[in-house]
């Protein structure tokens, strides 16, 4: 039997800390090894002995305690964890996680770990709704953490409002979801393109588009988190390269084509989320065009259609493309799927405000060979997770004998 996966359960100083005992029990029932780390404040609410007795493992609290079973506790625990669940998470803990503060063993472990993170807040309504807490939760989400939202109901204070810890079963489901995803792309090579290409007009000017690269970067990060070897071919963006991803920086459609074609054969899956210019100036000026020498018109030439070319060259690869549409979204995307020999098209309506280009959210239709899947509006980080789930399904289907 495969070794059980390990969940590091982080318990912080909330009145709901006692509910983490039930959470530990439920996780163990699902076949998971649970190791607990408590903050000093959490130990004021529930004794470490309770968690040690339930989980059968020593409980970490003090960063400076002489290690017994563990070597350097924060490092070895971080490496051991297949997923980390902070439940309940206090406002203080959420702020520390968002800021990268490492003043206690628990927060040091989270910083030192690459494992997926699930955070289940519990606090008084005003603390939960405070813009500082909401901003911190958004920051954690934007980095890929799963936040199991607090619920509305009676709070420990007797007040009624939002801030109750989500039911343990719901937190367990979120943790199991992360464990399932944890290494499902191990051994696969994924090539992702992102950003909007820039086509030179002269020495300083270019024709560009409004793509921010957020979706492609989120997909690259999600694939890396799930164990893939990821190459991200990126046109210019304002984004930081995700961790554990090989970044290949390009500027023009031509450079992107070259970088992608060069790496295509060794890839198992390709996600082309870059907004590649269809046209570029036919004769860019070498120097800067003077104000009084402005051309009356600019001749354009067609760029290579990278996705169509990949569709032609495709052997074993799963090939996912994007379609920016303004009408007949699904029908146009299906046309693209068939014409370019793709396995999935992520189609979005770029005419709608608040979603798509540059925004943090998107609302898309996933068009595969069989059915369309319309996804509700969600963050690009969540969307990346859905797309990568589909990618994993396509890779699995490919691996199965017909």
Ligand X SMILES: Cc1cc2nc3c(=O)[nH]c(=O)nc-3n(C[C@H](O)[C@H](O)[C@H](O)COP(=O)(O)O)c2cc1C
List 130, 136, 209, 303, catalytic entry: 209
As given in the structure block, the two tokens for residue 297 are 């018109």
Give the start-end residues of each E strand in 165-274.
189-194, 199-200, 206-207, 229-234, 245-249, 269-272
Return the range that interacts with ligand X (CB under 6 A); candidates 90-98, 112-120, 216-224, 362-370. 90-98
Q: What is the DSSP string of 53-81?
A: HHHSS--B--TTSPPSSSSSHHHHHHHH-
Which residues on neighbouring strands pair with residue 206, listed in sequence order?
A: 200
Q: Rule CB under 6 A: is residue 220 a binding residue for ligand X?
A: no
Contact between 92 and ligand X per CB under 6 A: yes
Q: Does 42 help bind ligand X (rule: CB under 6 A)?
A: yes
User: Is 232 near ligand X (CB under 6 A)?
Assistant: no
d(CA 389, CA 385): 6
> Residue 109, interface with ligand X (CB under 6 A)?
no
Quick one: which of 61, 84, 93, 166 contacts ligand X (CB under 6 A)?
A: 93
Choose the stretch contacting ligand X; rule: CB under 6 A; options: 8-16, 137-145, 166-174, 330-338.
8-16
Q: Least CB distance from residue 166 to ligand X, whole Å? A: 13
249 binds ligand X (CB under 6 A): no
The span of 46-54, 122-130, 201-209, 324-332 binding ligand X (CB under 6 A) equals 122-130
Instruction: Measure the CA angle with vertex 140, ends 130 and 99; round to 5°.
Output: 80
Q: Which two tokens stand for residue 260?
A: 């992608």
The H or E element that residue 225 is part of is: helix 214-225
In whole angstroms, what separates CA 314 from the centre of its chain? 27
Q: Interface with ligand X includes 137 (CB under 6 A)?
A: no
Cα distances (angstroms) measured from residue 101 to each of 10, 109, 115, 135, 269: 15, 11, 17, 16, 37
Nearest to 267 by CA among 328, 340, 189: 189
Please report, for the chain, how many H helices and E strands are present, in that order: 14, 21
Cα–Cα dist 304/195, whole Å: 17
Is the CB of 106 or the CB of 190 nearer to ligand X?
106
Instruction: Point out which span in 22-30, 58-66, 119-127, 303-311 binds ligand X (CB under 6 A).
Output: 119-127
41 binds ligand X (CB under 6 A): yes
Quick check: is 136 catalytic? Answer: no
* Least distance from ligand X to the Cβ atom of residue 151, Å: 13
Q: Return the residues of window 9-28 that contact ligand X according to CB under 6 A.
A: 12-16
CB of 44 to ligand X, least distance (A): 7
**Position among 27, 120, 123, 179 found at the interface with ligand X (CB under 6 A):** 123
Residues with catalytic roles: 209
Site of interaction with ligand X (CB under 6 A): 12-16, 39, 41-42, 90-93, 122-123, 127
């Amino acid at each position: 039997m495969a070794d059980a996966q390990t969940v590091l359960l982080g318990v912080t100083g909330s009145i709901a800390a006692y509910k983490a005992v039930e959470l530990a029990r439920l996780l163990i029932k699902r076949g998971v090894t649970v190791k607990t780390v408590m903050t000093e404040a959490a130990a004021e609410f529930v004794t470490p002995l309770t968690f040690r007795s339930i989980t059968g493992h020593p409980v970490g609290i003090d960063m400076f305690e002489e290690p017994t079973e563990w070597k350097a506790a924060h490092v070895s625990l971080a490496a051991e964890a297949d997923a980390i669940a902070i439940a309940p998470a206090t406002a203080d803990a959420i702020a520390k996680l968002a800021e990268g503060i490492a003043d206690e063993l628990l927060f040091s472990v989270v910083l030192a770990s690459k494992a997926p993170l699930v955070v289940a807040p519990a606090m008084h309504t005003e603390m939960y709704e405070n813009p500082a807490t909401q901003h911190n939760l958004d920051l954690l989400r934007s980095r890929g953490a799963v936040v199991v939202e607090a619920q509305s109901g009676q709070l420990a204070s007797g007040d009624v409002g939002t801030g109750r810890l989500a039911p343990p079963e719901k937190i367990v489901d979120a943790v199991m979801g992360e464990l399932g995803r944890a290494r499902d792309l191990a051994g696969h090579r994924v090539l992702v393109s992102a950003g909007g290409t820039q086509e030179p007009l002269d020495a300083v000017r270019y024709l560009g588009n409004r793509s921010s690269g957020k979706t492609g970067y989120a997909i690259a990060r999600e694939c890396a988190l799930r164990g893939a070897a990821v190459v991200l071919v990126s046109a210019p963006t304002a984004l930081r390269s995700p961790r554990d991803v090989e970044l290949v920086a390009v500027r023009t459609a031509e450079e992107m084509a070259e970088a992608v074609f060069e790496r295509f054969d060794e890839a198992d899956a390709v996600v082309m989320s870059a907004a590649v210019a269809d046209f570029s100036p036919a004769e860019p000026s070498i120097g800067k065009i003077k104000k009084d020498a402005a051309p009356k018109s600019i001749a354009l030439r067609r760029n290579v259609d990278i996705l169509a070319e990949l569709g032609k060259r495709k052997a074993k690869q799963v090939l996912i493309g994007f379609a920016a549409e303004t009408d007949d979204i699904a029908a146009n995307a299906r046309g693209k799927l068939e014409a370019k020999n793709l396995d999935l098209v992520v189609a979005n309506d770029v005419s709608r405000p608040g979603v798509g280009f540059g925004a943090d959210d998107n609302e898309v239709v996933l068009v595969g060979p069989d059915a369309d899947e319309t996804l509700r509006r969600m963050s690009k980080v969540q969307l990346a997770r859905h797309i990568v789930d589909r990618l994993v399904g396509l890779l699995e289907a490919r691996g199965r004998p017909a």
